[in-house]
Amino acid sequence: MNGYLRVKTPYFLASVVLTFWAFNSFMSAKDKHHFLKKVTTTEQKFSSSAPLSYQSEEVRNSTSSRTVISNKELKKTGNLNIENALQNVPGIQIRDATGTGVLPKISVRGFGGGGNGHSNTGMILVNGIPIYGAPYSNIELAIFPVTFQSVDRIDVIKGGTSVQYGPNTFGGVVNVITKEIPKEWENQAAERITFWGRSSNGNFVDPKEKGKPLAQTLGNQMLFNTYGRTAGMLGKYIGISAQGNWINGQGFRQNSPTKVQNYLLDAIYKINATNTL
């Protein structure tokens, strides 16, 4: 039995040419060298001044969990202290120790339950500066250095971005921004009086305390918060701000007399093109 293979000449020639072209293309591509263009990556540290609000572009583009309590929010919510302002921030837990915000017990993402309550994986900053005596070994505060009246806004950063502020910050950072020095000189005075409640008989003074000095009767149900500030620029480049906050009276707990004096002095020197460091 005879057999034969019949191939159509035009299709056979086309397949041979295509195979030869593909082989040559592969071999020539194998000998070529490709050089990538120069690629430059840059990074910018977060400004110590912090965004003005949660709607700022820096907050929206942040790769970490970030919350900014703006000055408007601080005033609108009627917070009495920094402790109250941080209560609604996700991942932040506050344990009340004094009732006046003098020493809030701050826990970041569940860390910080022992000792004085401050998180050993989170750091508190004032204007971007650590406020601890030993920030690399012993994160604790004897007293909170800023009272609520001095605060302009609060920036809370949680996650990987916070590690740029130090080795003990992988839980988060609470950056408290104080009031900015204004261009024009200004003075401010404020008084806040809080009544904690009446006595059992419906009056401000309990019958058992009748005859005692007013400071020991009515004063035991009142908390006075006095604030004063003078600030402004001295010329184009130098500015100064002096603040004082006095908290006196009785906290909402019985037998918790409070006396706090907080003073804050800020100065600024704006470096121009003719100055060097």
Q: Phi then psi for 223, rounded to 5 degrees? A: -130, 120
Query: Could you tell me which of 240, 271, 49, 236 has the C-alpha nearest to residue 152?
Result: 49
pLDDT of 1 strictly over 50: no
Q: How far is CA 220 from the centre of its chain?
A: 35
- Residue where a domain stops, chosen among 178, 195, 212: 178
226 and 198 inside one domain: yes
156 and 138 inside one domain: yes
110 and 207 inside one domain: no
246 and 141 inside one domain: no
Q: Token match 């019985």: residue?
A: 254
| Within a domain: 5 | no
Q: Strands (DSSP E) along 3-139, which ranges? A: 65-69, 92-95, 105-108, 122-126, 129-130
| Within a domain: 104 | yes
Q: Strands (DSSP E) along the chain, which ranges? A: 65-69, 92-95, 105-108, 122-126, 129-130, 151-158, 172-178, 186-195, 222-234, 238-250, 257-269
Q: Token match 């003078």: residue?
A: 230
In terms of DSSP bridges, do strands 238-250 and 257-269 run parallel, antiparallel, or are they unpaired? antiparallel
71 and 128 inside one domain: yes
220 and 259 inside one domain: yes
109 and 201 inside one domain: no
- Residue where a domain stops, chosen among 161, 178, 195: 178
- Give the pLDDT of residue 175: 86
- Give the residue, 242 or 131, on which the prediction is more confident: 242
- Give the residue, 234 or 93, on which the prediction is more confident: 234
- Tell me the helix, strand and coil percentages in the chain, rounded to 5: 20, 30, 50
Sheet holding 257-269, edge to edge: 186-195, 222-234, 238-250, 257-269
| Within a domain: 217 | yes
Among the ranges given (1-5, 159-163, 226-230), the one the predictor scored with the smallest mean pLDDT: 1-5
> pLDDT > 70: what percent of the chain?
54
| Within a domain: 50 | no
Confidence of residue 5 (pLDDT cuts 50, 70, 90): very low
190 and 174 inside one domain: no
Cα 96 to Cα 48, 114, 157, 180, 216: the distances in Å are 28, 14, 22, 29, 25
**CATH code of the domain in which 61 resides:** 2.170.130.10
- Residue where a domain stops, chosen among 135, 154, 178: 178
* Per-residue pLDDT tens digits for 114-126: 555 455 566 788 8
253 and 226 inside one domain: yes
* Per-residue pLDDT tens digits for 51-101: 655 556 666 666 667 788 888 888 887 777 777 788 888 888 777 666 665
| Within a domain: 61 | yes
The domain total for the chain is 2
Query: Could you tell me which of 137, 176, 135 has the C-alpha nearest to residue 155?
Result: 176
170 and 84 inside one domain: yes
d(CA 182, CA 153): 16
Confidence of residue 228 (pLDDT cuts 50, 70, 90): very high
158 and 238 inside one domain: no
| Within a domain: 99 | yes
Q: Which domain holds residue 190?
A: 186-269
Read off the pLDDT of each residue in 15-20 and give the average, rounded to a whole number: 63
| Within a domain: 150 | yes
With vertex at residue 108, the alpha carbon angle to CA 103 and CA 113, rounded to the nearest 5 degrees, is 65
